Structure 1
Amino acid sequence: MGLTEQIARYREGSGDPASLVGEFRRTALLVPLTTADGDEDASPPGDAAGGLMAAVSGGIRWLYAFTEEEALVRFAQARGEGGRDWPYLAMLGARLMDAVVPESDGPTGVAVNVADGDGAMLFPPVAGIVPDAFAVDLRQDADNDRGAVA
């Protein structure tokens, strides 16, 4: 079963979270790159063109990723930018989480197929999805432990 099927099952209430994350990690995703003409939802200010395209919401940087070119095209069309070239990298979800997230500046998750409504899924920066050192839920627990009085 592919990632889009896992997402559908999870959203219907019959999917298994561990299976969904496992399939995400095994899936080759298309990750659009920022361009020199400036993407409004691009990497943080100061990042060069050619970085991974992302949006910031709720203090979390969400990297865009797509399961197929058609999903990327729907995203481009939803933004009113279907007529331009959309350079992208293909990389495993595991590489996004294990190599890209640790290099990001601040909490970072992945938004998959964001233009697909019920077919979209967010993979937030929490334990079990990103490396523990970058999981916001574990970081809060660690901060609370340091402030505790024995």
Structure 2
Amino acid sequence: MELTAEIAAYRAGNGDPGRLVGEFRRAALLVPLANESAGGLMSAVSGGIRWLYAFTDKESLGRFAEARGEAGREWPYLAILGARLVDAVVPAVDGPAGIAVNVADEEGSMLFPPVAGIVPDGCAVDVSNDGDGEVA
């Protein structure tokens, strides 16, 4: 099952969290660039967490651009696997970071927060980082 179908199943109350995270990790996601010259990824901060925007296809990215009133401009993006995004990019962010998928799709969006099982334990807000590996 693809990521959008897993998100729909989870939101409907009959999805499996492990399958959802697995599909997220296998999915090729489109992550818009914040500043083309700097190469940064577009994100927002909410509740002390940096949320990196990611989209399952160009249509979802287009709905995001339209919701921001910026559909008329070019949107450069990086295509990256979900696994690479959480395993390599999230650890490079200063502070807690998660992934916000398809945020402009009211019924198809999903947040992947910075918790154990989604991001590396060293970046998870629910794991003690004092060396004992305990879940907080």
Q: State whether TM-score is above 0.5.
A: yes
Q: 1:128 aligns with which of 117, 120, 128?
A: 117
> Number of residues paired by the alignment?
132
Q: 1:99 aligns with which of 85, 88, 98?
A: 88
Residue 49 of structure 1 and its aligned partner are, at CA, apart by 3.0
1:83, 1:31 → 2: CA distance? 18
Q: Is the radius of gyration larger for structure 1 or structure 2? A: 1
Q: Does 1:53 align with 2:45?
A: no
- 3-state SS of paired residue (1:61): strand
- 3-state SS of paired residue (1:33): strand
Residues 31-110 of structure 1 aligned to structure 2 (within 5 Å): 31-35=31-35, 49-110=38-99
1:106, 1:80 → 2: CA distance? 29
Residue 35 of structure 1 and its aligned partner are, at CA, apart by 2.6
1:50, 1:100 → 2: CA distance? 13
1:63, 1:16 → 2: CA distance? 23
Partner of 1:6: 6
Q: Where does the alignment leave 5 or more consecutive residues of structure 2 unmatched?
A: none
Partner of 1:28: 28
Higher share in helix: 1
Matched-pair identity in %: 71
Residue 125 of structure 1 and its aligned partner are, at CA, apart by 0.2
Q: TM-score, normalised by structure 1?
A: 0.84
- 3-state SS of paired residue (2:114): coil
Higher share in strand: 2
Q: Where does the alignment leave 5 or more consecutive residues of structure 1 unmatched?
A: 37-47, 146-150
Partner of 2:128: 139
1:13, 1:120 → 2: CA distance? 14
